[in-house]
Amino acid sequence: MKIDLKKDLKEFYQPGAAEFVEVHLPPRRYLAIDGHGDPNTSSDYAAAVPALYASGYAVKFALRARTGDDFVVGPLEGLWTSSDPTSFTGRRKDEWDWTMLIPLPDVVTADDVATGLATAATKKPDLPIGRLRVVELHEGRCLQIMHLGSYDDEGPVLARLHDEVIPERGLTWDGPHHEIYLSDPRRVAPERMRTVLRQPVRPV
* Whether the Cβ atoms of residue 134 and residue 34 lie closer than 8 Å to each other: no
Mean pLDDT on 160-189: 95
The residue among 149, 180, 150 whose CA lies nearest residue 30 is 180
pLDDT for residue 95: 87
Q: Is the pLDDT of residue 1 over 80?
A: no
* Whether the Cβ atoms of residue 26 and residue 79 lie closer than 8 Å to each other: no
Q: Is the pLDDT of residue 82 over 90?
A: no
Mean pLDDT on 32-40: 93
Mean pLDDT on 42-47: 93
The C-alpha atoms of residue 90 and residue 84 are separated, in whole angstroms, by: 10
pLDDT for residue 91: 79
pTM: 0.94
Instruction: State the average pLDDT for the chain.
Output: 95
Mean pLDDT on 173-183: 96
pLDDT for residue 193: 96
pLDDT for residue 45: 95
* Whether the Cβ atoms of residue 116 and residue 53 lie closer than 8 Å to each other: no
Q: Is the pLDDT of residue 88 over 80?
A: no
The C-alpha atoms of residue 1 and residue 13 are separated, in whole angstroms, by: 20
194 three-class SS: strand
Query: How confident is residue 171, by pLDDT bands cut at 50, 70 and 90?
Result: very high
Mean pLDDT on 81-99: 84
The C-alpha atoms of residue 176 and residue 19 are separated, in whole angstroms, by: 20
**124 or 1, which is more confident:** 124
Tell me the fold of 2-203.
Answer: Multidrug-efflux Transporter 1 Regulator Bmrr; Chain A (3.20.80)
